Amino acid sequence: MSRISHVFEQLQQHGRRALIPFITSGDPDLATTLDLMHAMAQAGADLIELGVPFSDPMADGPTIQRSSERALAQGVGLRDVLAVVAEFRRKDGQTPVVLMGYLNPVERMGYDAFARAARQAGVDGVLTVDCPPEEAGPLTDALYAHAIDPIFLLSPTTPESRFPVVARLARGFIYYVSLKGVTGAATLDVADVRNRIHAMRGRVGLPIGVGFGIRDAQSAQAVARFADAVVVGSRIVQAIEEAPRGEAVDRVAALIREIRSAIDAGVGAQA
Amino acid sequence: MRRYDLPDERGHFGPYGGRFVAETLVQALDDLRNQYQRYAQDPEFQAELAHELKHYVGRPSPIYHAKRWSEHLGGAQIYLKREDLNHTGAHKINNTVGQALLARRMGKRRVIAETGAGQHGVASATVAARYGLECVVYMGAEDIKRQAPNVYRMKLLGASVVAVDSGSKTLKDAMNEAMRDWVTHVETTFYIIGTAAGPHPYPMMVRDFQAVIGQEARTQMIELAGRQPDVLIACVGGGSNAIGLFSPYLEDEAVRLIGVEAGGLGLESGKHAAPLSAGVPGVLHGNRTYLMQDDNGQIQETHSISAGLDYPGVGPEHSWLKDSGRATYVAVTDAEALQAFHDLCRLEGIIPALESSHALAYAVKLAPTLDKEQILLVNLSGRGDKDIPTVAGLSGLAL
Ligand SMILES: Cc1ncc(COP(=O)(O)O)c(C=O)c1O
């Protein structure tokens, strides 16, 4: 069983939900990325999404665009991201790491070379935002061959007839994009998301995480009542951006603790 | 004769093309493909399109035998397909009329577009005014500075122009921002892509709307010269004017096809916009194609004297035509394009767009190597009025 599936199984047994923070590797620099990963795991993150910076982040709003630009300004590329994961694995053998980014850096490295290197570094899942299942066959083959879970998106515009198309290739968990828009956009409509998650249950056969519109502890708590995982991205990246030099790690850890306890309190009250 | 019937059902031209977009856009692209395929067969839609092209755009555009210039170069006869004489001054409007008619039939009241030089933005704003649609044009902040007259033209036509400040602040970033708008307003908005690139069905659809260029040329060349040309030459930014001219000739293998990319300061300088000449395949803006990128797969900044060619990618069908050998791609420098610009002004009384001047510059190289019976047909994709401030600036004049 993959590290991702194992984490979800453990959480489910204890009636808990996964908290998945997103940060961009190399923002503000690679050393801080490593510190942030350990601090977030300590503060209650169950899985870490690590953004691979790309020059043309079409699915991202201004906050994550800027973080990508900060990382690129230092020349951070896919190989550096893998090196950070390998470094992280020296101390943390449990927390799954999912790379999130765009297809081109992976194409450039070559699917098989990438999958091999990612596995060696200790990567557990890969989400390429601009590679829908129809185009993903060769990539998923390479990932399966190296025991890495391909993560796929479902969106508010995905017709139910497509659920099986996505579910056939997806492993680990399904990432439900909670709104029509880019990362960090307007707040989400909780009732609407709940209905969609209900429609997916039983049809995708994997845990379902929700991301894109979760801006604070309160919305994380609301979503955790019906989703298996909550992904928080722009809010954390914003905290990194706003932190004075040297304070990003403490601020992010505090934010993770706050969201963690809101999620647990909400789910506890429900039980 | 080899039959040519690409793309396949999923929008692939061999390994190129496809539909590399976030999940949120998949359904919208399915709808667009279905609606486009339906209207491509619909006699009423085709009749309306033909009517608009004739009475609003001013088609057919003439073909002109540039005799003085041909004599001056001392070789092949050069003919020019005069897309510069279209309403709004370039080939771009052939496509925007088609897409706007489709948007109306799909019940979309809002259109968005990306633009580099501003020609596609102007052509989009124009048809939006003509058909009563709301129009938002995304344009890189750098290009807004370079192309001030076109920015004002779009505003006169009632469009809002949004400055894009991310990345390199040019055409590719404008396209990113247009995609972000589309993903946010996908139910009400039609995205009018301005070149034969992007996710399926755009490369196919834009090609089909631009194919009127080559279709007219096939008839006109028989009337004018009694035969088809030996060589077709067109500049390649995203590749829409080139594929529009080439596609009706693809199965006619006696006709050589040459696409001309922006060589900027020279391919060896790295400062150019010539992905087919000096790039490698990758995925950007919804399709797999040749791209200018570094070893990490980051898209590189481009340079060209002409804003309309200043793009790191190219339509996927050109990538396929390159690999298959059916078309050849070359690059000419800023300086060569500028020289051809001045030559056409002085010898033929035509001010060409700087984009089109790249195609002309390659004719300058090729014509003298051929004999006087040979025929080159060059796509004069647009007129140069928009470039007058740039050219004047290079001569040290501020207008
Ligand atoms: C006059 C003219 N020609 C050519 C181009 C390049 O586009 P494409 O390669 O799609 O024809 C442009 C783009 O702005 C243009 O304005």
* Structural domains in chain B, sorted by start: 12-53+93-206 (3.40.50.1100), 58-89+211-394 (3.40.50.1100)
User: Can you list the residues of chain A whose pLDDT is less than 70?
Assistant: 187, 271
For B57-104, write each residue's pLDDT tens digit.
999 999 999 999 999 999 999 999 999 999 999 999 999 999 999 999
Whether ligand 1 lies within 6 angstroms of the CB of B361 is answered as no
Q: What residues contact B269, with CB distance under 8 A and at least 6 apart?
A: none
Whether ligand 1 lies within 6 angstroms of the CB of B262 is answered as no
Cα-flanking dihedrals φ and ψ of residue A65, to 5°? Answer: -55, -45
Distance CA A233, CA A61 (A): 11
| Residue whose pair of structure tokens reads 């590399």 in the numeric block | B20
What is the three-class DSSP state of A66? Answer: helix
The pLDDT-based confidence of B148 (bands split at 50, 70, 90) is confident
Please identify every residue of B annotated as catalytic: 92, 114, 381
Domain that holds residue A263: 3-270
Q: Quick one: closest CA in B to A155, which residue? A: B24
pTM: 0.97
What is the three-class DSSP state of A181? Answer: coil
Cα-flanking dihedrals φ and ψ of residue A104, to 5°? Answer: -60, -45
The arithmetic mean of pLDDT across residues B274-284, rounded, is 98
Distance CA A49, CA A35 (A): 14
Whether ligand 1 lies within 6 angstroms of the CB of B147 is answered as no
Ligand 1 centroid vs B241 CA: distance in angstroms?
Answer: 7
Q: Is the peptide bond before B389 cis (omega within 30 degrees of 0)?
A: no
Q: Provide the 10 A C-beta neighbour count for residue A134.
A: 17
Kindly report the protein residue whose alpha carbon is nearest to atom 7 of ligand 1: B237
Instruction: Measure Cα distances from B231 to A228, B109, B327 in Å.
Output: 62, 42, 10
User: The domain that contains A233 carries what CATH number?
Assistant: 3.20.20.70
CB contacts under 8 A, A 64-83 vs B, are 65, 69, 72, 77-79
Tokens of B219: 């008839």
Asked whether the beta carbons of A190 and A21 are under 8 A apart, the reply is no
Residue B270 confidence (pLDDT): 96
ipTM summary value: 0.96
Asked whether the beta carbons of A7 and A18 are under 8 A apart, the reply is yes
Please identify every residue of A annotated as catalytic: 49, 60
From chain A, pick out residues whose CB is under 8 angstroms from the CB of B319: none
From chain A, pick out residues whose CB is under 8 angstroms from the CB of B162: none
Domain count, chain A: 1
For A27-74, write each residue's pLDDT tens digit.
999 999 999 999 999 999 999 999 999 999 999 999 999 999 999 999
Whether ligand 1 lies within 6 angstroms of the CB of B116 is answered as yes
